[in-house]
Amino acid sequence: MARIGVFICHCGENISATVDVVKVAEVASKMQGVAFSTEYKYMCSAPGQDKIVQAIKEHKLTGIVVAACSPRMHESTFRKATAEGGINPYLCEMANIREHCSWVHERSEETTEKAIDIVRTLVAKVRRNAPLFPIKVPVTKTALVIGGGIAGIQAALDIANAGHKVIMVEKQPSIGGHMSQLSETFPTLDCSQCILTPRMVEVSQHPNITLHTYAEVESVSGFIGNFEVKIKMKAKSVDHVKCTGCGECWQKCPSKKIPDEFNAGLSNRTAIYTPFPQAVPNKPVIDRANCTWFTKGGKCGICQKVCKAEAIDYTIQDTFIDVKVGAIVTATGFDLKHTDFFPEYGYGEFKDVIDGMQFERLASASGPTAGVIRRPSDGKVPEKIVFIACAGSRDKAKGIEYCSKICCMYTAKHAMLYKHKNHDGKAYVFYMDIRAAGKGYDEFVRRAIEDDHVEYIRGRVSKVYEHNGKLIVKGVDTLLNSTPVDIEADMVVLATAIVANKDAESVAQKMHISYDKHHFFAEAHPKLKPVETNTAGIMLAGACQSAKDIPESVSQASASASKAIALFSNNEMSREPSVAAVNNTNCTGCLLCQDVCPYLAIEKEEIKDRAGNVLRYAAKVNSGLCQGCGTCVAMCRNKSIDLQGFSNEQMLGEVMSLLNKPF
C-alpha cells in the first residue's frame, strides 16, 4: 500500500503568490496513495528538509513528492533528505509548480488547478517508483595514452604522477610528435626541443609509465573501467635491450636516399635510423619497406655485421600484447595537408614553394641546413620570402571550411625568425585576418610588424609561378583599394591547413568513438565536455579533437588526465541507476534494440538450461555503459526492456493521472 507524503513549498512568495498552496495541499491529501500532505514556506531550507525526515518516520511514508521548483534545481537535495529519513532516495520525486506554473501564469483558479494536476501526476509516478541502488562497476587503475606528442606526454605524466600506471603507445619510432620538429615556439620563441626533451626523458624514465614505441593499437573492447586493448608491436628488427645506441649501424647503412619524414622531406635518411638525435628511445629501427635486406631477399646485412652488441635481428616479427586498462586518453595529433591541392601555388611543383613544417626544419639548428634558411632548389639564402596565410583553411571550395588556428601565429614567427637570421632580407605576409587571441599573441604579431619590419599585406594570392629562377607571387592589397601586388620572391612558404592524422578514422573506429567529416574526434559536448567522448572512459587531448596550439593541447591533456584520475580515485565506480534492464523471459531475442543504443550497451545473452544447452537468445543491458536514454524501451515491441526511473508503468501512470483517469 503506498503511503506517500506530499510537501507543497511556498518558495517564499514565488509560488504562493500565484498558486493557492493551501488548497493544493488539501486536495493532495485526498489523492490516491497519499498518507500525508502539508505546505511550508521554504522546503529546501534545513527546517524544510527536516520536515521530510520527520514525516517519513512519523507517518511511515513509502514515497515523497515535493511540489516546488524544478527537479533540475533541487532533486538531489530532497533525495538526500529522503535518504536521511530512512527510505531509498529514488522514492522521491519533484513536481515543478514554480518554473512551469507559478512563474508563468497569473493568479487564477486555472493556475491552482494546474498545480494540482502536476502534483497528482507525480504522485502517480511515485506510487510506482521502485527503490534503486547505485550501480558499482570495478575499475582497473591503469590508463592507456594513445599518441606520444606533447598532449600524450602531458596526460601520461599527470596520471603517472598521481600514482597510477600508464601505458603509452606511439606509432613512430620515437615520442615527441610534431613539437619535436619545431625550431622555436610562439609567443616566447623558446627552443621547442629544449622544453620538450626533458618531458620525453621523464616519460621514458617514469616508474609508472610503460612506453611502447613503433606500436599501434590493434583493437579495443570492453567498457569504462574495464577496457581490453590489443597492441601491435611492430617489428623493429633491432633488439632494444641489447642495443647500446652507438650509431655504427646507421652510419654504415648504404641506403641513404630515403626521404626523411622528420625533416619534412628536405633531406634523406638511411633505412636503419633513429628519427632525430634526441629521440626517445634513442635506439634505431629498420624501415623494412626501404631496406635492401627485406626488399632484395637478404642482400646487404651490413648493419648486422658492424653491430658490436649483436642487437640486429632480421627475423623479428610483429608481436601482439593484450593489456587491461580503465581509461583511455586519445592524443593522436594532426598532420599538415600535403597534397597539391593548390596547383595555382605550385605546391609540389616548384621546389622553393614549401609548407610551414618544412620552414621549421630549415630554421632549426638541427635541421638539414643547420638553421640557415636556404632555398631547397639551389641552396642559396633567399633575399625575399613571401608567406601565404590561410593556404587551404577557411575555404569551402577546397573542402576545409574551418580555421586552423595556429597559422597566423607561426607565420609571424617564421617571418621573425627569417628576419632575425637575415636582417637585410624582406619578408611579406599575405593574410585574410590575423587570429592572435592567446596570451601575448597579439603583442607577438605586432613585434613582427613593428620591430622586425615584416610587411603584412591584406589580400589573397591568386597565382605563384616561376620565371628566371624567381617565384612570381601575384597577390592583391585589399586595404589599398584592391591594388594588385606582384612580388618576385626567392621562396614562398604556405601556411597549409591542419588536418586530422591520416590514421584518425581507423583509430576512432577501433575505439567506437565518433568523428566529424574532417576526421577530428567528437567531444561529448562542445561547451561543457570538451575532453570526453560519448564513449564513457575515453578522453581526448590535443589536436586530434581540433586544431590547437601547444598551451591548449597541454591544458586539454591535463584535463583528460584529471578525468582519468577521478575515475581511478575509487576501486569501484558508482553510476546513477537510471539504466535499462531486460526481462529476459519475455524477450524474443530479435535484438532490434541493439542498433539504437548510442553507447553499445546492449549485448546478446545466451539463455541456457541446466545442462548448458543454449535454449534461446535474449538482449542484455550492460549497466556499466547504459546512460538511461530509454530509446531501446520505446523500440521494444512487447515491452521486454524497461527503464528504471522512467518505467512504462510510471510514464503511463503519469499520463492517465494527469488527465484524472483511474489507473
Task: Read off the C-alpha cell for 506.
Answer: 581507423
| Residues 337-356 interacting with another protein (rule: CB under 8 A) | none
Distance CA 254, CA 23 (A): 95
Q: Which of 207, 138, 139, 205 lies closest to 175, judged by CA?
A: 205
**Residue 480 binds another protein (CB under 8 A):** no
Length of the chain, please? Answer: 663
Distance CA 332, CA 147 (A): 5
Distance CA 603, CA 600 (A): 8
CB of 519 to another protein, least distance (A): 17
113/455 with CB nearer another protein: 113
**Residue 518 binds another protein (CB under 8 A):** no
Q: Which of 578, 516, 520 lies closest to 547, judged by CA?
A: 520
CB of 544 to another protein, least distance (A): 19
CB of 92 to another protein, least distance (A): 15
111/183 with CB nearer another protein: 111
CB of 113 to another protein, least distance (A): 8
Which residue in the set 118, 417, 448, 543 belongs to the binding site for another protein (CB under 8 A)? 118
**Residue 111 binds another protein (CB under 8 A):** yes
Which residue in the set 477, 589, 600, 605 belongs to the binding site for another protein (CB under 8 A)? 589
Which residue in the set 13, 50, 110, 572 belongs to the binding site for another protein (CB under 8 A)? 110
**Residue 208 binds another protein (CB under 8 A):** no
Question: In terms of C-beta density within 10 A (0-12 exposed, 13-18 middle, 19 or more buried), how is residue 627 classed?
Answer: middle
99/549 with CB nearer another protein: 99
Which residue in the set 10, 79, 98, 283 belongs to the binding site for another protein (CB under 8 A)? 98
**Residue 530 binds another protein (CB under 8 A):** no
Which residue in the set 35, 372, 432, 656 belongs to the binding site for another protein (CB under 8 A)? 656
**Residue 595 binds another protein (CB under 8 A):** yes
70/339 with CB nearer another protein: 70
Q: Are 622 and 603 in contact (CB under 8 A)?
A: yes
**Residue 630 binds another protein (CB under 8 A):** yes
Q: Are 592 and 633 in contact (CB under 8 A)?
A: no
CB of 106 to another protein, least distance (A): 7
DSSP states along 204-247:
HH-TTEEEEESEEEEEEEEETTEEEEEEEE---SB-TTT-----
Task: Read off the C-alpha cell for 313.
Answer: 635481428
**Residue 401 binds another protein (CB under 8 A):** no
Q: Are 499 and 334 in contact (CB under 8 A)?
A: yes
Q: Which amino acid, residue 179?
A: M
Question: In terms of C-beta density within 10 A (0-12 exposed, 13-18 middle, 19 or more buried), how is residue 153 classed?
Answer: buried
Q: Which amino acid, residue 373?
A: I
**Residue 130 binds another protein (CB under 8 A):** no
| Residues 68-97 interacting with another protein (rule: CB under 8 A) | 70-72, 96
Contacts of 634 (CB under 8 A, 6+ apart): none
Q: Which of 649, 646, 644, 651 lies closest to 133, judged by CA?
A: 644
Which range in 100-108, 199-207, 445-453, 539-547 contacts another protein by CB under 8 A? 100-108
- Hey, which bits of 562-601 come out as E strands? 572-575, 580-582
Which range in 323-331, 456-464, 562-570, 590-598 contacts another protein by CB under 8 A? 590-598
**Residue 163 binds another protein (CB under 8 A):** no
Distance CA 178, CA 176 (A): 7
Task: Read off the C-alpha cell for 95.
Answer: 513536481
| Residues 562-581 interacting with another protein (rule: CB under 8 A) | 578
Residues that bind another protein (CB under 8 A): 70-72, 96, 98-100, 103-106, 108, 110-111, 113-114, 117-118, 121, 514, 534, 578, 585-586, 588-593, 595-596, 598-599, 604, 614, 616-617, 627-631, 633-635, 637-639, 643, 645-646, 648-649, 651-656, 658-661, 663
